[in-house]
Amino acid sequence: MHDTSIVKPWAGRFNAPTDAFVEAFTASVAFDQRLYRYDIQGSIAHATMLAQQGILTAAECDAIISGLEAVQSEIEAGTFKWSIALEDVHMNIETALTAKIGEAGKKLHTGRSRNDQIATDVRLWLRDEIDLIQLEIKRLQTALLDLAEREADTILPGFTHLQVAQPITFGHHLLAWFEMLERDRDRFTDCRRRLNVMPLGAAALAGTTYPIDRQYTAQLLGFDRPAENSLDAVSDRDFAIEFTAAAAILMMHLSRYSEELILWSSAQFGFIELSDSFCTGSSIMPQKKNPDVPELVRGKSGRIFGHLMGLLTLMKSQPLAYNKDNQEDKEPLFDTVDNLKGSLRVYADMMGNVTCHRERMRVAAKQGFSTATDLADYLVRNGIAFRDAHEIVGKAVAFGVREGRDLAELTLAELQQFSVSIQADVFAVLTLEGSVAARNHLGGTAPNQVRSAIVRARTRLNTEERN
């Protein structure tokens, strides 16, 4: 509803009230009110700095802080009245503050603008959200390490081009997922470092004539430093784009995990089973158990990719400094954070409840001549050039295809028709266990290497937590 009784803080220059539809169309309070805690945090620091600089009296500062704390209590109790007529979270809080403490409330905005205020609020909020996201990534990584440790000896086919390539251990496969998440954590750490710069004090675009101490305000708010340039400070949204890019890459990784979980849990593969708690049924087919969680996460990746493109497009043609376009940065950013945290949370919970069908994995690994490379390596060790060994094994595989038998199922005499260098000891390398055990080096799929990698990974996580 259009409330003509509310006088906007900027109304002095205007002779007519804002059109009712325009008021609703341009308001952001419906979504930016979630920043209230950070808006109040920034205002308390700003008032504290103004008092230190003699711009506010100590009594005015105390009144402002007490009033802001009272407003926060009302918001958190659900009794605060948000007004669209007051446009955004800042004007709602400032108006409520002035109503509570009188004239001192009107002095809070000295030396700042909504332009540097919102840029500060979003950075404070996103900094905390990154910390929470990092914790959820670690929780998922821990779940993967626990499962990898349990399945360090479990053999399944490794694929390239979605064709059987070589046998690997399931623990090794899960550690590949872990490494993707390590890079994701690094990206968010790097992003957090760059966003932890304070815009407050840039005011509308040119700074302020008041003798403010931006270093002190930055210290109060936990920023590494104040932004160097006032124009850039109020108009920069690189941090939001960079965060969303990191989120998009992480969601791409989760989508890849999802694709594999969906395939592996199908009747055609039958490698794993997801807990009933993370699946749903069909309204018409009573036998169905649908992997809805990984499917939905796979779908949400496209949503986050879209937000990244949207933010890039939002900023691509903006001249310096602040423009109203930037109001459109918050909803995609909020949605990215909400869906990323939700996806990580459900994945961490789900991966702790995965059941492996080890025999199905093993049977699948024996198909598709997965130990062909092992036979080629065997021939090379017996003095045959790799390219010649490759041709020999190719002919042996072709024979096996015609016979409908894997290499390990051929007799020694059948194998020797392709090379007399093949001896009885060849069957040790043609077994699945022999194949994976032979990859016994750092980064290899051998079970003992998997266990060592898990120990190193846990050490990394624990060390970072202590730091």
Maximum Cα–Cα distance for the chain, whole Å?
101
Residue 1: per-residue pLDDT: 40
* Range in 159-173, 214-228, 394-408, 452-466 the model is least confident about: 452-466
Q: Is 389 left (phi over 0), alpha (psi -120 to 50) or beta?
A: alpha
Confidence of residue 5 (pLDDT cuts 50, 70, 90): low
Which of the residues 5, 161, 317, 441 is marked catalytic? Answer: 161
Taking the complete model, does pTM exceed 0.75, yes or no? yes
pLDDT score of 41 more than 60: yes
pLDDT, one tens digit per residue, over 293-328 is 999 999 999 999 999 999 999 999 999 999 898 999
Confidence of residue 6 (pLDDT cuts 50, 70, 90): low
* Range in 14-23, 89-98, 104-113, 308-317 the model is least confident about: 14-23
pLDDT score of 166 more than 90: yes
pLDDT, one tens digit per residue, over 432-461 is 999 999 999 999 999 999 999 999 999 999
Which of the residues 73, 266, 282, 452 is marked catalytic? Answer: 282
Q: Which residue has the higher pLDDT, 3 or 333?
A: 333
Q: What is the mean pLDDT of residues 210-236?
A: 98
Q: Is 295 left (phi over 0), alpha (psi -120 to 50) or beta?
A: alpha
pLDDT score of 13 more than 80: no
Give the whole-angstrom CA distance, residue 404 versus residue 37.
68
345 contacts 136 by C-beta, under 8 angstroms: yes
307 labelled catalytic = no
Residue 11: per-residue pLDDT: 59
Residue 284: per-residue pLDDT: 81
364 contacts 157 by C-beta, under 8 angstroms: yes
Confidence of residue 132 (pLDDT cuts 50, 70, 90): very high
Residue 9: per-residue pLDDT: 65
pLDDT, one tens digit per residue, over 395-429 is 999 999 999 998 989 999 999 999 999 999 999 88
Residue 27: per-residue pLDDT: 81
Residue 98: per-residue pLDDT: 97
Give the whole-angstrom CA distance, residue 128 versus residue 201.
21
Q: What is residue 295's three-state secondary structure?
A: helix
Q: What is the mean pLDDT of residues 381-394?
A: 95
Give the whole-angstrom CA distance, residue 446 versus residue 172.
8
Q: Is the peptide bond before 321 cis (omega within 30 degrees of 0)?
A: yes
Tell me which DSSP letter residue 407 carries: G
CA dihedral (160, 161, 163, 169) positive or negative: positive
317 labelled catalytic = no
Domains of the chain and any CATH numbers = 11-110 (1.10.275.10), 115-196+231-363 (1.20.200.10), 368-466 (1.10.40.30)
Confidence of residue 12 (pLDDT cuts 50, 70, 90): low
pLDDT, one tens digit per residue, over 177-201 is 999 999 999 999 999 999 999 999 9
Confidence of residue 25 (pLDDT cuts 50, 70, 90): confident
Question: What would the DSSP string read from start to end of 311-380?
Answer: HHHHHTTPPSS--GGGGGGHHHHHHHHHHHHHHHHHHHHHHTT-EE-HHHHHHHHTSS-TTHHHHHHHHH
Helix axes 114-150, 36-52, angle to 10 degrees: 130
Residue 8: per-residue pLDDT: 60
